[in-house]
């Protein structure tokens, strides 16, 4: 189940469609049935928290199936979709158990314990889950954009501008 909050109707619909496309790319159909994703379109995220998006798993089940994803919206629609793809990759990492946030800022990545706080001091750009989210997220965003262009050529109604 996917819900989208915030933003205008056009953006909401575009984000909703993109989210389903990314889900089909990232998750098995069985897992898709059990996922609950709440997307919050936020105009102030960058101003208030200095970030473009986040993906927060609800830890009531392990691996998690419920996610809150926020995306900063005061940017080009295509950037919003790329940022959504990035956060969806993180949701995939959590849902498959590849990425597990532990207490004390520790993280488990593919079974390996990575201490983000002390000696390993993993910075944002050094974190392997960010490499994947940036690389795969970019690829998914590009695929989505191409699909929409093709739909437009076929004369299908495409919502919003990308
Ligand atoms: Zn990230």
85 CA → ligand 1 middle, Å: 10
| Percent of residues, the chain, with pLDDT higher than 70 | 94
Q: Are 130 and 83 in contact (CB under 8 A)?
A: no
**pLDDT tens digits for range 97-142:** 999 988 777 899 999 998 765 545 567 888 899 999 999 999 999 9
Centre of ligand 1 to C-alpha 62, Å, is: 20
Distance of CA 57 from the midpoint of ligand 1 (Å): 13
Alpha carbon distance 10, 81 (integer Å): 13
Q: Which CATH architecture has domain 2-153?
A: 3-Layer(aba) Sandwich (3.40)
Q: Phi/psi class of residue 155: alpha, beta or left (left: φ > 0; alpha: ψ in -120 to 50)?
A: left
Q: Residues 37, 27: contact at Cβ < 8 Å?
A: no
Domain ranges across the chain: 2-153
Measure 55 CA to ligand 1 centroid, in angstroms.
Answer: 8
Q: How far is the CA of 13 from the centre of ligand 1 (A)?
A: 23
Q: What is the average pLDDT value for the chain, to the nearest integer? A: 91
Q: Write the CA distances from 118 to 84, 100, 108, 110, 121, integer angstroms.
A: 30, 18, 15, 20, 5
**What is the distance in A from the centroid of ligand 1 to the CA of 153?**
33
Centre of ligand 1 from the C-alpha of residue 133, in Å:
6
């Amino acid at each position: 189940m996917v819900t989208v909050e915030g933003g205008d109707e056009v953006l909401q619909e575009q984000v909703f469609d993109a989210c389903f496309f990314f889900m089909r790319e990232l998750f098995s159909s069985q897992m898709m049935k059990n996922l609950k994703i709440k997307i919050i379109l936020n105009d102030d995220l960058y101003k208030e928290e200095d970030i473009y998006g986040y993906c927060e798993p609800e830890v009531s089940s392990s691996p998690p199936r419920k996610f809150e994803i926020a995306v900063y919206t005061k940017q080009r629609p295509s950037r919003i979709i790329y940022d959504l793809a990035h956060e969806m990759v993180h949701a995939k990492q959590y849902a498959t158990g590849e990425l597990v946030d532990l207490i004390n800022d520790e993280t488990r990545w593919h079974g390996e314990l990575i201490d983000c706080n002390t000696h390993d001091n993993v910075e944002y750009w050094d974190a392997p889950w960010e490499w994947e989210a940036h690389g795969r997220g970019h690829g998914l965003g590009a695929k989505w954009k191409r699909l929409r262009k093709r739909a437009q050529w076929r004369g299908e109604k495409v919502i919003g501008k990308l």
